[in-house]
Amino acid sequence: MFFGGITKKGMSVLFIDEMLIGNVVIALNHVITIKVSVLKIIIYLTTE
């Protein structure tokens, strides 16, 4: 029982860490996408 409790807790901690890392990566991807879009718009407006 004790060992099972430890592994279960360890798994949940790993799962939470993966979720947090995943959310950070997704957020960064959104920020990068927005910045690229803004840059494209600026380049488009300045070249017109």
Per-residue pLDDT tens digits for 1-48: 455 556 677 777 777 788 888 889 999 999 999 999 999 999 999 997
Residue 21: the pLDDT is 86
The distance between the two most distant Cα atoms of the chain, rounded to a whole number of Å, is 70
What's the total number of domains in the chain?
1
12 located within any domain:
no
Full-model pTM: 0.53
pLDDT at 39: 94
- In a domain? residue 1: no
Tell whether 47 is covered by a domain.
yes
**Residue 46 falls inside a structural domain:** yes
In a domain, 41, yes or no: yes
> CA 30, 22, 34: angle at the middle one, nearest 5?
5
**What residues make up the domain containing 41?**
22-48
CA dist 47 and 8 (Å) reads: 58
- The answer to whether residue 4 sits within a structural domain is no
For residue 28, being part of any structural domain is answered with: yes
**pLDDT value for 18:** 82
- What is the predicted pLDDT for the residue at 19? 82
Domain-located, residue 45: yes
pLDDT of 15: 77
